[in-house]
Amino acid sequence: MSDLSRRKLLLAGGALGAAGALAAASPSYAWTWSSLGSIARSDTTRDPRFVWDDRVDPVMAALLDRGGVPDVNRVLKPWIYNGQAVPSGLPADVQGIVDMARTLPTWTDLGRLDTAYRFATKRGLYLGVLYGMNSGMMSAAIPREARAVYWSKGGGDIRDRIAKTAKLGYDIGAYRAYRPEGQMIVTCVKTRLTHSAVRHLLPQSPYWRASADEQIPISQHDILVTWHSLASSVMQKLNEWGVRIPKNESDAYLHLWQVTASMLGVNDEFIPVSWEQAELQRQQVLVPILARTDEGVKLADKLVNLGEYIDFTLVTQPLFEAVTRYMLGDTVTDMLELQRRPLLQKTVSEAWPIFIKIREAGLPIPLAPTIYSAFEELIRLFALFYLNPFQRINIDIPTENNPDHPY
């Protein structure tokens, strides 16, 4: 057995031992969602907390150990569009996992993905607000995600971390995202490689080990939690606001996120087949686990003070906090220690539903969806420019943890 295999086995054994103790202390923590409700329609309750990325992880660990990541990042940097050939020069083992990871699942329906884009053109502003101030801020209240972000390289440069996250959010809603002229396949592959590298690097950080309740980060369960903070939570909010979405568009939006989960390495047996099953899974994996962590509080503080990083006026901070409180509620935002802004919160809570009604009433007007979409596209491009000015955002594989906390 190689040193790498031996180390992974020891880590996995430690994770299983810790999970066993946790399950004994809290029986309700057991994974009970059945894969009968998944894309696979199998009949298992395999626990995704102990499933990682078996095909990619050994290759990325070996690449990191032999110091080959900088060369791979250099080769992959000009790879931008789905239809581009993967640049030559990758090591054979890395080439193999890239070729595997860029292949769409067999059940992908490109027609439904086109419908998802049409949905995004009409509701893009809602999606942008929810991805940022609902899902983005919620991530700081997801303990494992907050710790992984804070102690990994992304925690040392929050502006860069947000820019790369924003790129995924932008690419998934772009025209023909998964077709050859889109960028989402490349973004997913690079994100998957990054996740795998973090799995190898973070266990080497004494800071992360001291605070984490898992031995190996970013399990498929962790990815599902993040998935629900995005896809399921967005749909739940749209329903709460009374936004009437045609069934074919709702189903298409789910399909967009199903494909994305698969492209990020999640097994079919864990991907919900319907919104009903997604909500059942969300209630188990996301809703009960939201909690305060020191890392989450620090990340939330950086997020609400984002103006310091992108040259926006700090006047935006009170509004950011007020909108976040409206989106997430006081329980979660108190966990993140955001300030209460009673007057602004009252204004937001009264104005937003009116805005929704006016905007929805305008959708039947000819060209209104096109005008809305063009305006929202400008907003997205503006945000990406300020997050990473004068350069194309590139997701590269990390070679270290948070540089502000060396070890």
Count each helix (H run) and each strand (E run) in the chain, helices first: 19, 0
- Element at 344 (helix H, strand E): helix 342-362
What single-letter amino acid sits at 361? A
- Cα(384)–Cα(166) distance, integer angstroms: 7
Q: What pLDDT is recorded for position 169?
A: 85
What pLDDT does 177 receive? 96
| pLDDT at residue 381, as a whole number | 47
What pLDDT was estimated at residue 206?
Answer: 95
pLDDT of residue 30: 84
Query: Residue 92 and residue 98: Cα distance in Å, rounded?
Result: 10
End-to-end CA distance of the chain: 28
d(CA 97, CA 117): 28
Q: How far apart are CA 308 and CA 162, in angstroms?
A: 14
φ, ψ for residue 272, nearest 5 deg = -60, 140
**How far, in Å, CA of 235 to CA of 359, rounded?**
18
Q: Please state the pTM of the whole predicted model.
A: 0.87
Per-residue pLDDT of the chain (407 residues; tens, 9 = 90+): 344 433 443 343 333 333 333 333 333 468 999 999 999 999 888 999 999 999 999 999 999 999 999 999 999 999 999 999 999 999 999 999 999 999 999 999 999 999 999 998 888 888 888 888 899 899 999 999 999 999 999 888 877 777 788 888 889 988 899 999 999 999 999 999 999 999 999 999 999 999 999 999 999 999 999 999 999 999 999 999 999 999 999 999 999 999 999 999 999 999 999 999 999 999 999 999 999 999 999 999 988 876 554 444 444 678 888 889 999 999 999 999 999 999 988 988 888 888 888 888 865 555 445 544 544 554 554 454 444 544 578 899 999 999 887 54
Q: Give every CB contact of residue 162 below 8 A, 6+ residues apart in sequence.
A: 136, 303, 306, 387
- Other C-beta atoms lying within 10 Å of the C-beta of residue 37: 18
Query: Residue type for 403, please?
Result: P
Minimal CA–CA distance to 275: which of 255, 290, 259?
255
